[in-house]
């Protein structure tokens, strides 16, 4: 029987070296995607580089300008008070992922590298124009999420590259993550939406999951609603019923969903418009 | 759990005497199971054993031009490869008729049909070898529409119609003042037991084989395995391994014959464990159904006639389709008095996955139809749906549409009243957590998006096998003195413990009958004892329970005879009283332990239920042994815009005859409700063009704790005259009307028709958007 070699690096640099030294080696983080694929016979790496001992990957840092989230941050970690108050929608997304066991093991880096259309951290990262920091044999590079996640389960991550961390700019204002599934917990998204309202820049950022091959920004909806919101209203930003309804329609229009065994394209489009609008209504008051 | 009815007062005194009938002792395997120490069939292990792997068809329908096993045999570590050409005996198997090939030889009739099997030193080697087998398929156009199958060219020598059953009852020309009509559809549910199919076959010195396997019925497996191996039944010995759930999905043979063929070919023990995806292909599912109904009633609300047409998709092979259809047709009207009926049922063969037994067995599918119809009728008559059901509820001595007179306990009104009378849950708290709303963790809804609905449904089902089948049960009981002189009762039954708790009941029964505290259950094996029948059809409490009770009665008589000999009196002067024999005239007493001094006592008994008859050409006849009734009220929160649901509460009344173990009854009710609402909300094997699209727990969704409502139950205890202790079965009813009650609540909340189970988010959301 062929037995995979396992490397147990304790630093990112060691991990990069281990990847380079064992051709075909693959990174193992929480294993919640990796091991499923092994069970299904879809993945049989000759060597494994396990990241659990790389402590620097599990750090996160919240500054007034940015939030830096290590690739080894688990879904359970995303509920950490400092991190969740800076990125409440990330914590909300994390709460929807799998079961407690999966949230204790699964990581942000694994979610990005898996690049599933249903990856639940991805819409918020897309909404925030996240930057992904990768390290390989020739050093570190930074790429946008869109450059990294190139299609359904495909990325531009090199075979000897490690995702080190994800960096987002802080946006003052409310944010939401909403996810539709046929079950009330532990379900793969049929449609999801992240909505970020920046009350200083007067911007609304909306990104959608599970309705296109990669997370998509609903730019037309963003532009429309940023114009339509009365940002200076007493009691906080507000928008009219009509503007909110139009926002929902424009969001639905940004989706290019498919029909599969989980749902239909038509429902996904309908649902993503509804949830984006509801998410926004939690951030922005409805004008009478 | 609330309890009402006879027998309650009596139990208080029994309870004081400890773990007997009516108490709730902890199950003997409970601690092991909760600690993860219980050995399930997938934990079987033997030194030098091989690992088996099945090769399955990637095609839905195909002709097999050739199979080349050479490349697999040439691989390192491969010890045996078998195909249809290697089946030593009968090439087919089946529960009702052997119409299913052990391995496909010339034709493949469903996606995932077994084509070959491999045994190798390591599971990986077996998997690689199975993939190395070269099968040349010529794909055929699959027959996947059950309606079309009735007249389509046969896809099997036995034809496409498994059974066409018509019930003609009363005046077929009768009609009512008020008529309601509807079409309904039920999707394909899976038993989704947690322990996948697994077993270990060990070749024996006598040329036979010992098979350790998780199953529901050892003897019926044994007979099918022996026939295909071409061996006499006594050289094929089946032993029950730890069963991780069943729900009907282990009634049919899955890996049993393959494993034994591999073990005999390789001359070594072979173990096989299906992975989850293979399990979805390895067992039969619940029949998808298409239903058409027309109900007639008087203006006062009395049912006049029920017309129905039922089409069950049996998939590629027969399995138990004939019996499932019989139930669907018999129980098509539900638990109501129906003077006239014309009910036509078809069970047909298609190239879809084979369907067979699952908890509720035919009664589940039709319940979605008859209960939606009762609500429609109530709406047409402007009466309360519960009142309409009470008005038409069956009573003792009423006739079913099959002409059978109900002679047992028929507490239909009691279960309906019980389900309707529990307090409704508090209205949802606007400040409460979003987790409690439809959409749950996804935070899709705010309270303003949610409407609450209440729905009601009632159901009935038979206990044990029907239409002339003698599904007897056997028990052997041995009483002997232990090392300390205290008596030990050893009970040998072939009853499959599939989680239902028969092991607990058996101990309670022996304690009840003999007053012997120490009751040991011997392993279940065809080598040790005769058949127990299947652990299905809610029948083991009655049937194996009855066999245990009979065995106890025989030994009690023998203890009395021994006592009478010692006292030199007539046996008629002695009584058995709670572990002692009493001489009536003198009040002298002898303990069981004293009576065992000369020698142990042993007896083997068979318990048979009263005979039943096959249905005649008009669907008439006393086809069933006994019936169980249940009612469910569902409170459901609905987010109609997104079509998302949350069941808040299920309130139920269930007719149990007598609760032999109240805690276990509660367990069956809660588990059955989970399975019932699962079918209403999310559980469906998605099949398109015959292909299974979601063979995993990622995509075959089962309810989680966030989907499970509070369950409030009243068990109605009206003793069943024929049954041991008056106890009916309890396993199936909770899974029957709970789902239909949920859909009724969704209709109540939204005003939408909701005619399909499971109801999908898009079904509600589209209709809502269209109507709103
Ligand atoms: C039961 C269950 C439920 C689930 N539910 C959800 C859900 O609701 N939502 C959701 O989004 N996902 C869900 N998932 C998927 C999974 O949990 C996530 O995608 C998770 O984030 C993967 O992270 P991991 O640490 O487990 O990665 P692993 O499985 O260890 O690895 C996944 C992939 O990422 C690569 N990788 C990991 N770390 C790095 C790194 N630092 N740099 C480069 N490549 C890396 C690996 O090589 C591999 O290709 C579920 C999984 C299971 C088993």
| Mutate which: B77, B127, B190, B441, vs A, most A CBs within 10 A | B441
Q: Which of residues 225-244 of A touch B (CB under 8 A)?
A: none
CB of B129 within 8 Å of a chain A CB? The answer is no
- Measure A108 CA to ligand 1 centroid, in angstroms: 7
| Mutate which: A36, A100, A106, A182, vs B, most B CBs within 10 A | A182
CATH code of residue A14: 3.30.43
CB of A46 closer than 8 Å to CB of A2: yes
Note whether A161 and A196 are same-domain residues: no
> Is A50 close to ligand 1, i.e. is its CB under 6 Å away?
no
Note whether A226 and A258 are same-domain residues: yes
Q: What pLDDT score does A2 carry?
A: 58
> Is A28 close to ligand 1, i.e. is its CB under 6 Å away?
yes
Q: Name the residue at shortest CA distance from atom 32 of ligand 1.
A: A110
Residue of chain A minimizing CA distance to B125: A1
Q: What is the rounded CA–CA span in Å between residue A123 and residue B109?
A: 43
CB of B21 closer than 8 Å to CB of B723: no
- Measure A97 CA to ligand 1 centroid, in angstroms: 10
CB of A176 within 8 Å of a chain B CB? The answer is yes
B308 closest CA partner among B146, B144, B188, B165:
B165
Tens-digit pLDDT profile for chain A (288 aa)? 456 799 999 999 999 999 999 999 999 999 999 999 998 888 989 999 999 999 999 999 999 999 999 999 999 999 999 999 999 999 999 999 999 999 999 999 999 999 999 999 999 999 999 999 999 999 999 999 999 999 999 999 999 999 999 999 999 999 999 999 999 999 999 999 999 999 999 999 999 999 999 999 999 999 999 999 999 999 899 999 999 999 999 999 999 999 999 999 999 999 999 999 999 999 999 987
CB of B255 closer than 8 Å to CB of B200: no
Residues in Cβ contact with A62 at an 8 Å cutoff, skipping those fewer than 6 apart: A68, A82, A83, A86, A170
| Mutate which: B441, B442, B685, vs A, most A CBs within 10 A | B442
Whole-angstrom CA distances from B234 to B12, B231, B254, B496, B528 are 47, 8, 21, 19, 11
> Is A119 close to ligand 1, i.e. is its CB under 6 Å away?
yes
Residues in Cβ contact with B517 at an 8 Å cutoff, skipping those fewer than 6 apart: B18, B486, B511
> Is A111 close to ligand 1, i.e. is its CB under 6 Å away?
yes
> Which of A120, A151, A169 is the endpoint of a domain?
A169
CB of B275 within 8 Å of a chain A CB? The answer is yes
Q: What is the rounded CA–CA span in Å between residue A79 and residue A60?
A: 12
> Is A106 close to ligand 1, i.e. is its CB under 6 Å away?
yes
CB of B694 closer than 8 Å to CB of B700: yes
Note whether A163 and A142 are same-domain residues: yes
Q: What is the rounded CA–CA span in Å between residue A76 and residue A54?
A: 18
B103 closest CA partner among B111, B119, B94, B92:
B92
> Which of A169, A196, A218 is the endpoint of a domain?
A169
Q: What pLDDT score does B9 carry?
A: 40
Note whether A215 and A262 are same-domain residues: yes
CB of A264 within 8 Å of a chain B CB? The answer is yes
Contact: A184, B440; criterion CB under 8 Å: yes
Cα torsion through B214, B219, B225, B231, rounded to 10 = 140
Phi, psi for residue A9 in degrees, rounded to 5: -65, 160
Residue of chain B minimizing CA distance to A273: B642
CB of B124 within 8 Å of a chain A CB? The answer is yes
B252 closest CA partner among B353, B309, B320:
B320
Residue of chain A minimizing CA distance to B126: A1
CB of B282 closer than 8 Å to CB of B162: no
Helix (H, G, I), strand (E, B) or coil at B83: strand
Instruction: Please give the order of strands across the beta sheet that includes A191-198.
Output: A175-180, A191-198, A203-209, A216-217
**How many beta-carbon contacts under 8 Å exist across A and B?**
100
Note whether A130 and A103 are same-domain residues: yes
Taking 70 as the pLDDT cut, the residues of chain B under it are 1-18, 430-431, 772
Whole-angstrom CA distances from A156 to A71, A163, B209 are 16, 11, 55
Number of H helices, E strands in chain A: 11, 16
Q: What pLDDT score does A41 carry?
A: 85
Q: What is the rounded CA–CA span in Å between residue B641 and residue B750?
A: 10
| Ligand 1 nearest atom to the CA of residue A113, by list position | 34
Task: Tell me if the bond preceding A213 is cis, omega within 30° of 0.
Answer: no
Note whether A40 and A93 are same-domain residues: no
Lookup: tokens for B558: 């023998």
Residue of chain A minimizing CA distance to B702: A183
> Which of A50, A68, A84 is the endpoint of a domain?
A50
Query: Whole domain around residue A162: which residue ranges?
Result: 55-169
Residue with tokens 């009220």: B633
What residues of B are in contact with residue A180 (Cβ under 8 Å)?
439, 442, 444, 642, 644, 761
- Closest CA–CA distance from residue B772 to any residue of chain A (Å): 14
Q: Name the residue at shortest CA distance from atom 40 of ligand 1.
A: A163
User: What ipTM does the predicted assembly reach?
Assistant: 0.97
- Closest CA–CA distance from residue A44 to any residue of chain B (Å): 11
- Measure A102 CA to ligand 1 centroid, in angstroms: 9
Count of domains for chain A: 3
Taking only the tens place, the pLDDT of each residue in A51-95 is 999 999 999 999 999 999 999 999 999 999 999 999 999 999 999
Note whether A221 and A273 are same-domain residues: yes
Contact: A271, B761; criterion CB under 8 Å: yes
CATH code of residue A275: 3.30.390.50
CB of B392 closer than 8 Å to CB of B303: yes
CB of A265 within 8 Å of a chain B CB? The answer is no
Lookup: tokens for B85: 């050409």
Say how many C-beta atoms besides its own lie within 10 A of residue B434's C-beta.
Answer: 17
Note whether A150 and A209 are same-domain residues: no
Cα B532 from chain centroid? 16
Q: What pLDDT score does B16 carry?
A: 38
Note whether A214 and A262 are same-domain residues: yes
Note whether A185 and A278 are same-domain residues: yes
DSSP readout, B128-139? HHHHH-EEEEEE
Q: What is the rounded CA–CA span in Å between residue A245 and residue B392?
A: 49
| Mutate which: A1, A42, A183, vs B, most B CBs within 10 A | A183
- The interaxial angle of helices B502-514 and B540-567, nearest 10 deg, is 20
| Ligand 1 nearest atom to the CA of residue A121, by list position | 11
B307 closest CA partner among B164, B462, B174, B404:
B174
CB of A96 within 8 Å of a chain B CB? The answer is yes
Residues in Cβ contact with B370 at an 8 Å cutoff, skipping those fewer than 6 apart: B293, B306, B332, B333, B334, B336
> Is A109 close to ligand 1, i.e. is its CB under 6 Å away?
yes
Q: Name the residue at shortest CA distance from atom 46 of ligand 1.
A: A27
Lookup: tokens for B59: 């095609």
Instruction: Outline where B213-300 has alpha helix (H).
Output: 218-229, 256-266, 276-282
Residue with tokens 């205290």: B486
> Is A26 close to ligand 1, i.e. is its CB under 6 Å away?
yes
Q: What is the rounded CA–CA span in Å between residue B613 and residue B465?
A: 11
* Strand runs labelled E in A152-277: 154-155, 162-169, 175-180, 191-198, 203-209, 216-217, 238-239
Cα B618 from chain centroid? 28
Q: What is the rounded CA–CA span in Å between residue B686 and residue B506?
A: 40
Note whether A236 and A256 are same-domain residues: yes
Residue with tokens 């009664």: B363
CATH code of residue A121: 3.30.465.10
Helix (H, G, I), strand (E, B) or coil at B552: helix
Say how many C-beta atoms besides its own lie within 10 A of residue B417's C-beta.
Answer: 18
Whole-angstrom CA distances from A44 to A39, B117, B122 are 9, 23, 16
- Measure A43 CA to ligand 1 centroid, in angstroms: 14
> Is A33 close to ligand 1, i.e. is its CB under 6 Å away?
yes
What residues of B are in contact with residue A274 (Cβ under 8 Å)?
641-642
Q: What pLDDT score does B430 carry?
A: 67
Q: What is the rounded CA–CA span in Å between residue B114 and residue B92?
A: 12
Q: What is the rounded CA–CA span in Å between residue B278 and residue B197?
A: 9
Residues in Cβ contact with A175 at an 8 Å cutoff, skipping those fewer than 6 apart: A87, A88, A89, A124, A127, A194, A195, A196, A197, A283
Pairing of strands B236-240, B209-213: parallel
The continuous run of DSSP H or E covering B717 comes out as strand B710-717
Q: What is the rounded CA–CA span in Å between residue B772 and residue B769?
A: 5
What residues of A are in contact with residue B125 (Cβ under 8 Å)?
1
All domains of chain B, ordered by start, with CATH?
A: 41-141+196-243+250-282 (3.90.1170.50), 285-466+614-771 (3.30.365.10), 472-607 (3.30.365.10)
CB of B582 closer than 8 Å to CB of B564: no
The continuous run of DSSP H or E covering B576 comes out as strand B574-577
Note whether A233 and A281 are same-domain residues: yes
SS3 sequence, B290-330? EEEEEEEECCCCCEEEEEEEEEEECCCCCCCHHHHHHHHHH
Cα A162 from chain centroid? 17
Contact: B446, A180; criterion CB under 8 Å: no
> Is A94 close to ligand 1, i.e. is its CB under 6 Å away?
no
CB of B646 within 8 Å of a chain A CB? The answer is yes
């Amino acid at each position: 029987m062929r037995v995979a070699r396992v490397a147990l690096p304790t630093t990112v640099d060691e991990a990069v070296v281990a990847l380079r030294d064992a051709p075909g080696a693959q990174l193992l983080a929480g294993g919640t995607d990796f091991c499923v694929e092994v069970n299904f016979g879809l993945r049989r790496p000759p060597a494994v580089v396990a990241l659990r001992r790389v402590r620097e990957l599990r750090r996160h840092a919240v500054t007034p300008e940015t939030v830096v989230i290590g690739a080894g941050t688990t879904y359970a970690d995303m509920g950490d008070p400092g991190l969740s108050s800076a990125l409440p929608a990330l914590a909300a997304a994390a709460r929807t992922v799998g079961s407690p066991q999966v949230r204790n093991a699964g990581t942000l880096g694994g979610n990005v590298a898996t690049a599933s259309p249903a990856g639940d951290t991805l819409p918020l990262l897309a909404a925030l124009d996240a930057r992904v920091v990768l390290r390989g044999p020739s050093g570190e590079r930074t790429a946008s999420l869109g450059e990294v996640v190139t299609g359904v389960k495909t990325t531009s991550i090199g075979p000897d590259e490690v995702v080190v961390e994800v960096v987002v700019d802080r946006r003052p204002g409310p944010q939401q993550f909403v996810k539709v599934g046929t079950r009330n917990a532990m379900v793969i998204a049929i449609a999801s939406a992240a909505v970020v309202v920046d009350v200083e820049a007067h911007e609304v950022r909306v990104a959608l999951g599970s309705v296109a091959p990669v997370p998509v920004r609903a730019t037309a909806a963003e532009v429309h609603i940023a114009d339509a919101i009365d940002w200076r209203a007493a009691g906080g930003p507000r928008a009219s019923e009509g503007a909110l309804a139009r926002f929902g329609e424009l969001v639905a229009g940004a989706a290019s969903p498919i029909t599969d065994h989980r749902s239909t394209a038509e429902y996904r489009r309908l649902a993503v418009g509804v949830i984006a609008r509801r998410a926004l209504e939690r951030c922005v008051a409805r004008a009478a | 759990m609330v309890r009402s009815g006879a027998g309650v007062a009596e139990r208080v005194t029994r309870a004081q005497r400890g773990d007997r009938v009516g108490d709730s002792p902890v199950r003997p395997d409970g601690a092991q199971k909760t600690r993860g120490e219980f050995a399930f069939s997938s934990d079987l292990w033997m030194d030098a054993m091989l690992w088996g792997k099945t090769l399955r068809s990637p095609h839905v329908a195909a002709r097999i031009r050739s199979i080349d096993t050479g490349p697999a045999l040439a691989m390192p570590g491969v010890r045996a490869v078998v195909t249809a050409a290697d089946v030593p005996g009968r090439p087919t198997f089946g529960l009702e008729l052997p119409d299913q090939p052990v391995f496909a030889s010339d034709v493949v009739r469903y996606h995932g049909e077994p084509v070959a099997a491999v045994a190798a030193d390591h599971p990986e080697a077996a998997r690689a070898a199975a993939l190395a087998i070269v099968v040349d398929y010529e794909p055929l156009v699959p027959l996947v529409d059950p309606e079309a199958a009735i007249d389509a060219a046969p896809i099997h020598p036995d034809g496409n119609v498994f059974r066409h059953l018509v019930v003609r009852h009363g005046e077929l020309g009768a009609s009512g003042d008020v008529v309601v009509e509807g079409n309904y559809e039920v999707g394909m549910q899976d038993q989704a037991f947690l322990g996948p199919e697994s077993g270990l076959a060990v070749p024996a010195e006598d040329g036979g084989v010992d098979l350790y396997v998780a199953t529901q019925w050892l003897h019926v497996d044994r007979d099918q395995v022996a026939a295909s191996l071409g061996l006499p039944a006594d050289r094929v010995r089946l032993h029950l391994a730890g069963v991780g759930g069943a729900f009907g999905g282990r009634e049919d043979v899955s890996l049993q014959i393959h494993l034994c063929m591999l073990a005999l070919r390789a001359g070594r023990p072979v173990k096989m464990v299906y992975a989850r995806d293979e399990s979805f292909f390895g067992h039969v599912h619940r029949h998808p159904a298409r239903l058409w109904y027309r109900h007639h009633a008087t203006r006062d609300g009395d049912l006049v006639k029920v017309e129905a047409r039922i089409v069950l998709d049996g998939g590629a092979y027969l399995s138990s389709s004939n019996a499932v259809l019989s139930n669907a047709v018999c129980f098509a009207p539900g638990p109501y008095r129906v003077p006239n009926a014309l009910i036509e049922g078809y069970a047909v063969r298609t190239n879809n996955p084979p369907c067979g037994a699952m908890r509720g067995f035919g009664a589940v599918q039709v319940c979605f139809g008859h209960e939606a119809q009762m609500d429609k009728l109530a709406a047409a008559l402007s009466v309360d749906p519960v009142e309409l059901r009470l008005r038409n509820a069956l009573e003792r001595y009423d006739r079913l549409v099959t002409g059978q007179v109900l002679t047992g306990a028929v507490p239909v009104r009691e279960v309906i009243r019980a389900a309707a009378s529990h307090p409704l849950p508090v209205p949802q708290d606007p400040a409460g957590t979003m987790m409690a709303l439809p959409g749950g963790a996804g935070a899709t809804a705010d309270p303003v998006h949610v409407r609450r609905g209440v729905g009601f449904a009632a159901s009935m089902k038979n206990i044990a096998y029907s239409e002339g089948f003698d599904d007897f049960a056997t028990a052997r009981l041995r009483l002997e003195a232990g090392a300390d002189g205290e008596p030990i009762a050893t009970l040998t039954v072939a009853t499959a413990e599939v989680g239902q708790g028969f092991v607990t009941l058996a101990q309670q029964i022996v304690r009840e009958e003999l007053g012997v505290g120490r009751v040991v259950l011997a392993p279940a094996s065809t080598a040790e004892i005769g058949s127990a029948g299947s652990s299905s059809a809610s029948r083991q409490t009655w049937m194996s329970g009855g066999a245990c009770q009979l065995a106890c009665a025989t030994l009690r008589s023998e203890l009395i005879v021994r006592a009478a000999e010692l006292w030199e009196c007539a046996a008629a002067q002695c009584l058995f009283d709670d572990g002692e024999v009493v001489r009536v005239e003198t009040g002298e007493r002898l303990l069981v332990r004293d009576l065992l001094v000369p020698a142990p006592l042993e007896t083997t008994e068979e318990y048979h239920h009263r005979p039943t008859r096959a249905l005649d050409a008009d669907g008439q006849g006393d086809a069933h042994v006994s019936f169980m009734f249940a009612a469910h009220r569902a409170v459901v929160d609905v987010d109609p815009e997104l079509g998302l649901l949350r069941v808040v509460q299920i309130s139920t009344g269930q007719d149990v005859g007598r609760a032999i173990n109240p805690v276990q009854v509660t367990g069956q009710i809660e588990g059955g409700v989970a399975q019932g609402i699962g079918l209403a909300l999310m559980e469906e094997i998605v099949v398109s063009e015959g292909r299974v699209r979601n063979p995993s727990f990622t995509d075959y969704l089962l309810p989680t704790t966030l989907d499970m409502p509070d369950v409030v139950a009243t068990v109605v205890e009206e003793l069943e005259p024929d049954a041991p202790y008056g106890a009916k079965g309890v396993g199936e009813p909770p899974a029957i009307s709970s789902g239909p009650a949920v859909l009724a609540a969704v209709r109540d909340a939204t005003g939408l028709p909701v005619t399909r189970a499971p109801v999908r988010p898009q079904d509600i959301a589209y209709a809502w958007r269209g109507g709103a």
